[in-house]
Structure 1
C-alpha cells in the first residue's frame, strides 16, 4: 500500500496493539507510512508482533490500568518521538459471567482496564496534544449501546467509554478530535482458536450481512477517523457491526429467516483480540 500524505508525519500509539484488532490497526498505520508505537502488557505477544512487523515499530511494555507503568511508557515515547498525534484506546478485557455470579473483583478488574485504563491513556495523550492537536479514538462496542446478558461489567465499561468520548470531545476541542468505534462480531485469530467453524457460521447467520467482521475492516475505520478526511468528525460513536444493531437490538434473532433464539456460547466473538 502506498503511503498517503496525510499519514506520513503521524505518530500513532495503539494500546492492546500486539494481537487481534489492535495488531490490525498497528499494521494498517504502518502500511500508511505512520510511525507506530504498540503498547501491550503481554511481553511475549509484544515481542512477536515487533519481530513480525514489516516496518519498525516502537514496542512499549505497559499495563493501561497501572498509572506508573503507563506514565513510563509515555515518557519513553516522548524521548523517541517528542510528541504524539494519534491514540487508539484499544486495550480491553471481558469476563463472561451471569450478573448474580459476578464477583466484585471481576467487576472492578473489567472497569479498571476497559474504562479507567482508557481514561488514563486519554489523559496522558490529551496533555500532550492540547497545544499541537491530535486525535483520540476509543474502541467501545455495540455491547455498550444495548443490553447483552452475561456481560454486565463489559457492557457498562463500554457504555462508559462512549460517554467519556463525548465528554473529551467537548473539553479537548478544537485542537483534539475524539471519537469512538463500536465493533460488533469480529473474527480474530483468538476466535478461530476458541470456536468451531460451525459455531462461527451460526453466529454469522444472525447478522444481516451474513458474516463476521475482520480486524482489517475495523482498522480501516480507525485509519479513516485519524485522517484529514475526517477532520469535521468529533464526539461521535461509529458502529461497524454488519447490521447487528440496525433493528435496535443486539441480536438478529428477530429476522424472519433467522433463528428463534440466540444461543449463548462460552464467550463472545466481538471480545477477542484486545477489545
Structure 2
C-alpha cells in the first residue's frame, strides 16, 4: 500500500479502525471519517504515524458532510486510491416488523446503504484518475437472518447489489468488491472510554469451524488485498469472512 491513500468511513472504531490500521501497517496513508471526533483524535494519538493519517468528522447520511470529507482528503493528500465504505448502524435487532417505524427503517437505509452511495459518488472521480478500488463492508446478514432484523438485512443486502452494479459501471478504472463479516469482536476497538476486553465463552468460539470469533484484523487483511494491485483481476465480488459459520449446518 506504499504511496496509496485510502479513505475509511467509520474508521475511528471497530472494523473500520482495524482496516485503517491494516492499511497503515502495509505502508499506506489513511483519511478516517467518523461521527465520534474523540475516537478519531484518539486514533491519531495512538497510531503515531505523522502525516500518513488524518481524521475529519463525517456523517455519511448527509451529502454536504461527505463532500467536505472527500475534499479534505484531496486537499491533504492530493489523490485518493481507495475507499472503504464501512460506516453504519451496527445493531441488527429492532423488534417485530409490524412495530418498525418508517423513520427507523429509513435511518438504517440512509446510513448503511445511501452512505456508501454518497461516499462512492464523491470519491469516484479521484478514484478513477488513480485507478483505485472500493471495498464495501456488508454483512453475512445479507445472506441469512435472525428474526426482527429486516432493516439491517435489507441495507446490507443492498450493499452487495450496489457492489456488483458499481463494479460494472466504474470498471475498468475502478474495481469494487464487498466483504461480508460474520461475528467480529470489536469491544477492544472502540473509543478509549468504552473499550473493554470482549466477554467470549468457549461455546462462542467453538461454534465457528475456524475455532474462534473474528477480529477487526481479519477484515483488515482482506481489505488490504482488495485495495491493492495483487487483486487487479478481482471485481464485483463479495467475500464472506465469518470463520465458516455460514457453511455450517445448524441442527438443534
TM-score, reference length from structure 1 = 0.83
1:97 to 83, 94, 98: 94
8 A Cα contact 2:186 2:198, kept in partner? no
* Alignment of 1:67 onto 2:63: yes
Q: What is aligned with 2:79?
A: 83
Query: 2:117 and 2:60 mapped to 1: Cα distance?
Result: 9
How far does residue 78 in structure 1 lie from its aligned partner after superposition? 1.5
How far does residue 193 in structure 1 lie from its aligned partner after superposition? 4.6
Unaligned runs of 5+ in 2: 190-194
8 A Cα contact 1:94 1:110, kept in partner? no
8 A Cα contact 1:93 1:114, kept in partner? yes
* Alignment of 1:218 onto 2:219: yes
Query: 2:173 and 2:200 mapped to 1: Cα distance?
Result: 46
Query: 1:218 and 1:77 mapped to 2: Cα distance?
Result: 23
Unaligned runs of 5+ in 1: 1-6, 255-259, 261-275
Q: Aligned to 1:245, what secondary structure does the other structure show?
A: helix
How far does residue 77 in structure 1 lie from its aligned partner after superposition? 1.3
Q: Aligned to 2:133, what secondary structure does the other structure show?
A: strand
* Alignment of 1:230 onto 2:226: no
Q: What is aligned with 1:174?
A: 172
8 A Cα contact 2:185 2:198, kept in partner? no
TM-score, reference length from structure 2 = 0.91
Q: What is aligned with 2:25?
A: 31
Query: 1:253 and 1:43 mapped to 2: Cα distance?
Result: 41
Q: Aligned to 1:39, what secondary structure does the other structure show?
A: strand
Query: 2:16 and 2:102 mapped to 1: Cα distance?
Result: 28
8 A Cα contact 1:115 1:161, kept in partner? yes
Query: 1:193 and 1:77 mapped to 2: Cα distance?
Result: 31
8 A Cα contact 2:167 2:175, kept in partner? yes
The runs of at least 4 consecutive aligned structure 1 residues that moved more than 4 Å come to: 190-195
How far does residue 100 in structure 1 lie from its aligned partner after superposition? 2.6
1:8 to 2, 15, 18: 2
User: Whose helix fraction is larger, Structure 1's or Structure 2's?
Assistant: 2
How far does residue 195 in structure 1 lie from its aligned partner after superposition? 6.5
Q: What is aligned with 2:117?
A: 119
Q: Aligned to 2:178, what secondary structure does the other structure show?
A: strand
> Matches of residues 48-63 of structure 1 in structure 2 within 5 Å?
48-56=42-50, 57-63=53-59
How far does residue 209 in structure 1 lie from its aligned partner after superposition? 2.0
State the Cα RMSD in Å. Answer: 1.8
Identify which range, 96-105 or 130-139, moves more after superposition.
96-105
- Aligned residue pairs, count: 243
Query: 2:125 and 2:163 mapped to 1: Cα distance?
Result: 16
